Structure 1
Amino acid sequence: MSKLIVFISACLVLQFTYTFGQNERVIRQLHSADQAVKADKFGKALKKYEKILKISPENKHALIGMAYTSSVIGQNQRTNAKKRKYYQQSMQYAQKAYQLSSMSTDANYMMALIKDKQAEFAEAEERIRLAKEMQEHANYTLKFEQENAGAYFLLGRSYFLLATLPFDSRAEVERGIPAQRALELAIENFQKAIKLDPNRVLYYYSLALAYEEDLKIDKALDAVNRALSLEPTPEDGGTSLIMRCQELKFMIN
């Protein structure tokens, strides 16, 4: 009996040592992947997060990392087909992270982010659903992270989606919120995002679009000029976003 106890104890020690070593390796790899993201090396980061998930398939940090890097890579694809492919991949990882921890602010933020990406290709009815779900996820994030600029931006995007629906779809939206009020809320939340993070081209560009929709041309021009004074990040769409800013400025003028 004593020999059995010794054997079991030895096995437990080996298991603990293996698990501890595995966890240490995962922590190092997560740090390396996060550093790649900070260096805007999203393709490299994607491979690192993917490698981690082979070892630890329910690692929430890696799942969110995969979702985020997939969305950024998708944002910078030239064709809609490739964009959709990466956005679909991003959603798969975001959903898994959310299923594992629906109370996680990071998981909720990622769900809002990727739903915004999907709304680019959605018809009116689908856009309504996505916008409302974005609001739920963004508001949940802001409940615990009141200074999360990205969450304010996504909340603004959700209202902008509702405010700019095709005319024949607005009646459905106005049962909950009038289009003009949705536009006002979009502007308010874009402004909050900018106050917290004043260096994002995407935030100013989105504010300019909202002002243009609200026929406030001077404010739209000021916002787009501010956007053009900043350096774009891959997360914002890189140089393609600058081109959109230039096109918007030309249209406003």
Structure 2
Amino acid sequence: MTYFTRIAALSAAVLLSAAGAQSLQSAQSLFDQGKWQEAAKAAAALNTSAGYALAAEATTMGAGISPAGSRKALYQQAQSYANKAIKLNANNAEAYFELARAQGRLAQTAGILESLGLAGDMKKNLQKAISLNPKLAGAYVALGLWNAELVAKGGAATLATGADAKQVAPNFQKAIQLEPNRIIHRLEYANALMLLSSKNKAAATEQLRKAVSLTPKTYWDRLDLQNAQKRLNSLK
């Protein structure tokens, strides 16, 4: 390969990389607008680890606002996207987080034995995500909620998974420290507190009041704001 050929190849690679980044930004923009199906399709079409991770996120979030009968299949699709992201880049923290998030939502549609299995895998993937990116706030939220939900189930669920109520607050506090202006972190913290005990009403209310004072930036933030307000009203 001649010098000029190498320069041409390098230039082409740079252009392709820039185009890929722009396409990922376009898919992210669609997702931020709430156009989750278009976002997932555009992101997956990139055939990159980052693209599949975004497709997984869009599909999981979209499932949450879809008819109940279609959610399981969508969560399974999100899992598939996340696994493709990991296959392309085993060091993509977002991919492990999205796999864990899809597993968590899928567990809610499964029987007790299957859900306990998914819970174990979910924890491993969250821990992997955090090991790769200790500043991934969403993973701490998910881990805090994981502990709260399983402790709330009690009995076999707690014993089988090692869930611990003492791990709830530290994980949420870490997430809020990293991203103090995210509405969802405060909302989920309030939900987790109430799962643990009705005696946490004052603390949950405090988190919700902070949540509704924050400014939403995306379609999903606006949904979180509405849900936080509803939750706050229900605790009054």
TM range (shorter): 0.7 to 0.9
Amino acid at match of 2:213: S
Tell me what 2:92 maps to.
104
Q: Which ranges in structure 2 are unaligned for 5 or more consecutive residues?
A: none
State the TM-score, normalized to the length of structure 1.
0.75
| Residues 160-214 of structure 1 deviation map (CA, whole Å, 9 limit, x = unaligned) | 221122x5xx23422553x6xx233122211211111111221111111222233
The separation in 2 between residues aligned to 1:123 and 1:183, in whole angstroms, is 23
Any conservation in 2 of the 1:132–1:158 contact (CA below 8 Å)?
no
The separation in 2 between residues aligned to 1:24 and 1:190, in whole angstroms, is 41
The separation in 1 between residues aligned to 2:201 and 2:213, in whole angstroms, is 18
Tell me which stretches of 4 or more aligned residues in structure 1 moved more than 4 Å: 16-23
Q: Tell me whether 1:48 sits opposite 2:42 in the alignment.
A: yes
From the CA coordinates, give the structure whose radius of gyration is larger: 1
1:164 is paired with a residue whose SS is helix
The separation in 2 between residues aligned to 1:231 and 1:78, in whole angstroms, is 25
Question: What is the aligned-residue identity percentage?
Answer: 22
Size of the aligned set, in residue pairs, is: 228
Tell me what 1:186 maps to.
168
Tell me what 1:204 maps to.
186
The separation in 1 between residues aligned to 2:184 and 2:25, in whole angstroms, is 22
Tell me what 1:249 maps to.
232
Any conservation in 1 of the 2:145–2:192 contact (CA below 8 Å)?
no
Aligned-residue Cα RMSD (Å) equals 3.1
The separation in 2 between residues aligned to 1:175 and 1:91, in whole angstroms, is 23
State the TM-score, normalized to the length of structure 2.
0.79
1:210-225 matches, cutoff 5 A: 210-213=192-195, 214=197, 215-225=199-209
Any conservation in 1 of the 2:119–2:161 contact (CA below 8 Å)?
no
Of 53, 62, 65, which residue of structure 1 is paired with 2:51? 62
Amino acid at match of 1:171: A
Q: Which ranges in structure 1 are unaligned for 5 or more consecutive residues?
A: 1-8, 54-58
Tell me what 1:56 maps to.
none
The separation in 2 between residues aligned to 1:67 and 1:138, in whole angstroms, is 15
Per the TM alignment, residue 221 of structure 1 is displaced from its structure 2 partner at its CA by 1.0
Any conservation in 1 of the 2:27–2:43 contact (CA below 8 Å)?
no
The separation in 2 between residues aligned to 1:174 and 1:204, in whole angstroms, is 28
| Residues 197-248 of structure 1 deviation map (CA, whole Å, 9 limit, x = unaligned) | 1112211111112222332221111111112222444445x43x34433343
1:52 is paired with a residue whose SS is coil
| Residues 137-177 of structure 1 deviation map (CA, whole Å, 9 limit, x = unaligned) | 11122223222211111211221221122x5xx23422553
| Residues 102-126 of structure 1 deviation map (CA, whole Å, 9 limit, x = unaligned) | 3432321221222222233233333
Amino acid at match of 2:71: K
Of 121, 134, 140, which residue of structure 1 is paired with 2:122? 134
Tell me what 1:227 maps to.
211
Tell me what 2:156 maps to.
171
The separation in 2 between residues aligned to 1:154 and 1:114, in whole angstroms, is 11
